[in-house]
Structures are given as structure tokens and as C-alpha cells.
Structure 1
């Protein structure tokens, strides 16, 4: 597990590369490597998890091909044996060491042979120089890049703040980003909150010839299993095997246990393989939705050594700023703070790897919005508007009432969804639940969940591994019929059945609730969080931004003080996160001119880029 960065068809000094590496050293504190050529350069920060004494990057067979890699290759032993039969030799058993041989044998198709989570870069100068970037099938390991069409220069890195460390990267605020953020809780697809900085989508290979334009090739997503198998025992065996494979490491491995089904099942299966430590996060004081007793019951049932972590709400103001800085762009889920604190505790306890239960809801149909939409579709009712509103910080009709006239006019024709996503969601093949699942896996899961988990775990040098993202598990879930996922008001039916006997009955029968921060209760007059929010969302700051009506935001404070509700609290939280992000990255920046054909933002909405 590492952090990677580099440049192509431009120059960067060794000092510049060291600066970029330093900005993401938390994700790879064990060693740093870089290689410069006249055509470009690549670098990495290493978090040693496999083959601790080897794995020096950049990997190379000779000086003409340099490879940097972030992630884990779970089938590296199998691939190594196959490549050895073809005459290749390897200096160590680190998983990434096989990549030069894999690229030599299969070229751009090397990703077809990798089972794992990864983002990688190949600088190939054997003939005409070219740069290849690639991401795994679900986007578990993010990769960001900026291509300048004027100079044909390309820069990339694992984290946005590090990418901004390149002298040539000047990226200002994307003015429609606020609307996308409030509509989706974070930007989806290739778009980020920065003008000119893009996220490489999941299952994508980017190839850029020297002096040319990048070409993106989307690889097929994991296909559903050929024959639907609703047998919970078969699903349990598949999960058991995959959890076992993800426990393999040369460093201590732990598990995150939230108190719900998904992490509870991972905990139970992992404990069948080896003695295990589990971690849960709760909050000092008495708050609603406290899950610590469910997590402890799960841990006792599985026989783990359990660690109960407590976060102090009094420290949330400072924590918000640190969290936003590591994420690089706003994410409206208050769980981000909990995630940050939790992985810090995991690392402080001596663990470099932790398994989580993320993605089970997307794969097996676990969200209430999925159930509601599927039931509405079955009844012939329109479901798309309600479903999309469920993804938002607040519904579309209320969202626009927060905007100034100028900003409302600016975003009126800008779809916050990625190109083609809305059409496939409404008119694509399959049932409504099929289309929703495809949308969640392709767009929401990578942007909203996986980037958050990656950035906040790696902020503390912890590798998060996700059994429910494994291709075999995704294929099994995608193959299920609708009624095997959601039926008679019950979600994740097959997964619940697979957990029988492994997870405590109290966890299986408890009402489903999100693993989140009780922000509605915590955002109340008199608390440090309330005052911190008021200090950041002042009328003067809002007028400076030019997008939000100060009187509309003041009305949110009044409503939250007098009759608090989840939507109002989440809206204030999201606006706070956005303002902290502006403070961190943009208050002294200016957006470059809008591209030809784009709608320019009103002058009052623009922010600055240093000259």
C-alpha cells in the first residue's frame, strides 16, 4: 500500500517531487522513491504491508519502464508462479514486484490479471514515450490527475492536496461544484470540486502518448455470476474465503466492528481464520444511535479482543479541519470525523491493516432508498425524483431556495450527475433495482464511500481492506434476483440469511441505522460545534462566496434551534464542511477562464488562483 505521484510531457525538479511526496507521506511513511527522465517522472511513498524487506519502488525491469503502484494484489503468489514459468525472476515476494513482468507479458491488459485494489502508473519509454494510469474495478484506490491541453502536460497523484503541490498545477474552484456537493454529498464521476482536476473513474485505463491527449478506456465492470445463487450457505463460503485472503499480510491486521450486520459478519468470518482485534467508535457523553453495545456483543460472540474508542465532541472543530484537509474536497457525511478518529486509534494500537464492512449495502440492496424505489417501480409509480432526493443533502426543491439568483441561474442547466448516469438510471436495461445497483456501484460507492475510507485510513498509515468489494462477492450479489435482495420490506435478505448463527441474534433483528455521527443532537445552541458553525457561516462570508443567500442560511439556524430535524442539521453541517474546504484550499485562489463553450460563472462566484 502506497501513495503515488508523477508528471509527463513536462518537467519537475527533484525538490518539487519531494514536496509532493511529503504532502502524502502519511499514506506511505516507510520509504520514498522517485525516478526522473527527460519525458516525465514517477514517485511513491510506501506503506510496507507485504514483503517488508523488499518492494522498493519505482519497480522496473530496466530503465525504460518504470512502474509505481498503490494498493494490494491479492493473487500475487499465483501470478508470480505463472510468470516464473515464463522465465521471469523476482527479487522478493512483495506483491507489486510482479508488475514489470506482468506488463512485459500483457501490456495494457495487465489489469485483466490483477485481483486486488490498486491505482498504478507505468512510464514506458521503450519506443515512443507513453504514460499509462489504471484503477481497480470499483475505485478502492483513488487517483487524481490534471491534463493541460495547452502544454500537453499531465500530473497525477493519489491525493488532491499532493497534486496541488506541483508548481504547474493551478486549479481553482469549480463553481457548479457547490450544487453538485449539495445534490450528491460529494461530486460523482470524474468531476471534483476543482476546475481542471479529475478523478480517474473505477475500472479505467488512461493512456497518454508523449505530446498527445489522454485516452480513457473503461474496462468492463465485474459481471454478475452466470447463474443466480440465492443459497445463503454458498454466499457464506464465498465471503469466508475472501475474508481469509484479505487477512494475509506481513503486518498486524484488525477489523472494524460498527455494531451492524455487515461489519459484524466480516468480524465473525475473520475470527474463524485467526485470533483478532476489533475496533468500534462511539462518542463521549449520551447520544442517540449509540451502537457500542451491539459492537461489543458482536466482538464477544466472535471472540475478538475488543477496543472501544471514544471521540470527544468538544474536539470536533479542530477535527473537521483536519478531516477536510485529508479528503481534499468536501464530503457531507458526518461519519467522516468518526472514520478519521477510528483509524487513528487503529494505528496507535499497532495495526497497519483493517478489514471493514463497506459496500455490502450497494452490492446486496441494503439502503432504504433502494427498497422504496423498488416498491414504487413495482407499483408503476415514478421513483427517480424521490431516489435522487434521498442521495442529496436536502431535496432539490429546497436546495435552490438557498441560492442567490446569480448562482441559481448559473447551475440551472448543469446536471450534477456524471454524463450518461441519469439516462441509464431511468432508461437503462434491467429492473429498477438493477439500474439503481449499477448506479450505486459505478458512481456513489467510489466517490462517497471509497475515497473517504481510503483517504482517512491512509491519513494514519492504515490500509483498509474491503471484502464486500471483492469481484467474486460483487458478482454473487449482482446475480441475485430482486426478491433475493429486497422483499416484503426487508433489505439484504440473502446476506442476513448468510449471517444466521455467525452474528448475534440481537444484531440481526435490530432496526437498520446508518453508522454515523448524531449531528442533529450535537448541533445545538450552546455546544462548541454550534458556535463553530455560526462563526463559519456568517453573512459576510456567504456574501463573499456569492452562491448562498445569507437570510436563507440564517433561517436554517433558527429552525435548528427551535425545532431540530435531520435534514436541517445535515444541511448546516454540509455548508460548514464546504466553508472549511474553501478556507483550506480556495480562499486565496481564482478560477482560470472557463473553457470554450462553458458557461462562465458570475464574477461574484469566482475565487482565486495564485499567479
Structure 2
């Protein structure tokens, strides 16, 4: 993942606009501290700027924005993404197609899909992973933008005073440029040629009037979760697991440890997995995490902070979260991410999403019926991008750490949200 900024349909002096875009993009450089680059259309009205965190294909061939040059004009795109099935996408949808710059990056695939299929929903439904994407087509002077089904990758959009459309990974970029801006909704695509924002992600479990009746298949649930964790071991950079000592993160760590060697594209399959925890000295969570790490045989890193250090971090934390919500849960994650960054890691997995899917909060026990229980899980999952997922993304990204959340895997959601709530 990285930081993206797009400004499409700007007016005024192109050189001044370019300097403006570079200044705005710098506001989210913490998301991509490894490199930055910018695309400017030939007419000087359209810009895509990218702040890169090098995770997949860290070579220069993975640099974004990507551009396919055609006689009729350029196709340019950029993604804040991790596309876990990108190799399968190339084999299934793009056989024989050479990637731009011969890139091995997962983010190189969507632009080629667009060139072949147009701005069809097929592009976004083919992708298994997380993404926030903007594609600009110089041939038609049109653009489209899409966000992953659950909203793991943040994206905001707005209009400036002259009618230009802006997209960015963080609100602070748009704050002084747009007269209005808002969250770009997960699972949706916007197309400038139609002017419509439309949902492309339409699983049956999202229909709250359809209560599932499928019995719980525990082996299928287990295998689906294993698959979700293993695919997230994909990385060309050091990876670890946030371990709180609770059930959710312990399951993630356990599966990662047991299946690390079978992940063909993991960064390091020969050494023990690294796990990380943080808390106030003597906190019971630290003791639980320590015990889980011991049982799993991970290389465990335990850190401590004081109440004063937590309070001292609040102003910076609110700046990065762009919200006053989720602060309590974000403080330890924010402080821990800085420690993880100092150790040289770029990717972490965590257990977000499990409580929403399986009704893990205490108030779920008071659900008046199985049907209402299921509807509440849908409501919680649909709103994760505003609360827990936003916090779990922005707190680590304050220090250029990419979080991954296996419980919110698209296939695992299909499996788990299709279970009869009575079970």
C-alpha cells in the first residue's frame, strides 16, 4: 500500500498546478516514504501523484503511476493496493500480455485489464485483495476510480471550486483544495463518462433481507481462513504479526507460523515469524501474548509505554487518524508501529474484523433473534471502513507500516457470512 493523489480537470497554469500537486502529495508521504513520482497529462489538466511504500517488486519497474502509451493517447493508473491473486489475474485475463516496464508489481495488472476490457466491473471483481485505484484515459479524457469491497485502503474524493475532481488516500490532502469532500464508498466504482457512482461488489450476504441457512462447515471455515492468512504472507519486504494475546490475533499468528513455508512468495520462509506486542508494564495482554509467542515459537518483541507517553501521542495520532474516534484502541497501535518501523519491518498482519463477523462483542448476546444477529453483523462489517479498519490502516501508516487483515478476506467473508446465524 501507498499514498495516492489524483486531480482531474484542473484549470489554470499547468506548472503552478504541478507544484501544487507535489505539495499536496507530500502531506501523505508517511504512507509511502520510499519514493514518489507524478504523472501530468499532455494538456496539463490532469495529474496523478504517488507516494510509494515498496512491498511488491521494490525495483524501479514497480514505480507508479504506470502508463501504457498508445497512438491515441496514454492510459495511466495508480493503486494503493495489495492484489494477492495478481499472478492468477495475469494468467486468466491477460495471457500473453507483457506488463508495462516488465513489472512484477501486483499494481501493474489493473491498467492492462482496463485496456483490454474497458471500465467494466469485471476489472474490480477479478481482483482479490485491497485497493484504491484511479485510472485516467487520455484517449477519451475520461477517468474511473474504485475502492476494494470492504474499504481496507482509504480513499476520499471531492470537487474544487472550478469543478475538478480530486482523489486522495487521506482527507488532509483535500482539506484546502476542495469545497466539499467525502469518503469514497467501499465496493464502488465511479466513471466520469456516466457521472455515476455504482456498486460493483454485490455478494448475496450483503442483502440483509436474506438470512443464510447454510450449516456451519467447520473444516471449510478453517481452510478458508488458512487461505486468507497464507495469501497475505506475499511480500518482498519484512513481515510480522501484531499479537495482542487475544483469540483473533493468536489465530492469525498460529496459521502464519504453521504455513509460512508453503507461502511461495513470502519474504523469509527460513526463519521464525516475528510477532509484536505493546502495553503498559504488567498488562495482562502482554502476558497472554508472551505465552502465545512461546507456544508458537515466534521471535517475539514486547514493548512498553506509560500513560504519559500515550497522552503525549494524542495530537499526532488525531492528525494521522483524521478522527477523534477509535483513539483508545489506536494509541498502542500507533506507538507500536514506530517500534516496528525501527526494526526494519514494513508489513504486519492483525486480527481486525473477527468480532464483527462472528458477533464477538458482548451486546451480540442480547440479539432478539438469529435474524437480527445476522443483520447486525452485516451492519458492523459494512461500517468497518469508518471505524476499526480506518484506525488499523492509518495508525501503522503514520510510520509507513502496511497492515493486512485476513479476517476481512473476500472469500473468507463469503464463507463465514453465509453461515446460519442459529449455528
In the superposition, the TM-score normalised over structure 2's length comes to 0.88
Q: Distance in 1 between matches of 2:174 and 2:340?
A: 27
Question: Equivalent residue for 2:299?
Answer: 305
Tell me whether 1:341 sits opposite 2:322 in the alignment.
no
Q: Which residue number in structure 1 is paired with residue 373 of structure 2?
A: 433
Gaps of 5+ in 1: 171-195, 379-429, 485-611
Equivalent residue number for residue 203 of structure 1: 187
User: Are the aligned partners of 2:148 and 2:187 in contact in 1 as well (CA < 8 Å)?
Assistant: yes
Mapped contact 1:88–1:101 kept (Cα < 8 A): no
Deviation at 1:83, TM superposition (A): 4.4
Q: CA deviation at 1:151?
A: 2.9
Residue 273 (structure 2) pairs with residue 276 (structure 1): yes
Query: 1:122 aligns to what?
Result: 135
d(CA) in 2 for partners of 1:350 and 1:22?
22
Work out the CA distance in 2 between the residues paired with 1:84 and 1:136: 21
Secondary structure of the corresponding residue to residue 435 of structure 1: helix
Q: Secondary structure at the match of 1:48?
A: coil
| Range that drifts further, 33-42 or 130-139 | 33-42
1:223 has 2:234 as partner: no
* Secondary structure of residue in 1 paired with 2:422: helix
* Residues 479-517 of structure 1 deviation map (CA, whole Å, 9 limit, x = unaligned): 111132xxxxxxxxxxxxxxxxxxxxxxxxxxxxxxxxx
* Structure 2 counterpart of 1:60, from 38, 56, 67: 67
Structure with the larger strand share: 2
TM-superposition CA deviations, 1:14-61 (whole Å, max 9, x none):
211111121111111111111112331111111010111121111121
Which of 22, 29, 39 matches 1:25? 29
Larger Rg: 1
Q: Tell me, yes or no, if structure 1 residue 107 matches structure 2 residue 118.
A: yes
8 Å CA contact retained: 2:94, 2:113: no
Q: Which position in structure 1 is the counterpart of 2:266?
A: none
Pairing partner for 1:96 from 107, 117, 131: 107
1:227 and 1:93 map into 2 onto residues whose CA distance is 42
CA distance in 1, matches of 2:391, 2:300: 24
Instruction: Quote the offset at 1:363 in angstroms.
Output: 1.3
Once the two structures are superposed, what CA deviation does each residue of 1:103-125 show, in whole Å capped at 9, x if it has no partner? 11222221011000010001112
What whole-Å deviation, never above 9, does each CA across 1:70-122 have from its counterpart, x for those lacking one? 01000001112234425444512111111221111222221011000010001
The correspondence for 1:157, drawn from 168, 179, 189, is 168
Task: Please give the per-residue CA displacement for 1:296-316, whole angstroms capped at 9, x wherever unaligned.
Answer: 111111111111111221123
- Structure 2 vs 1, CA of residues 340 and 96 (structure 1 numbering), >3 Å: closer, same or farther? same
Match for residue 318 of structure 2 among 324, 327, 343: 324
Assess if the C-alpha contact under 8 Å between 2:99 and 2:108 holds in 1: no
Post-superposition offset of 1:243: 0.7
Could you say what the CA RMSD is over the residues aligned between the two structures, in angstroms?
A: 2.0
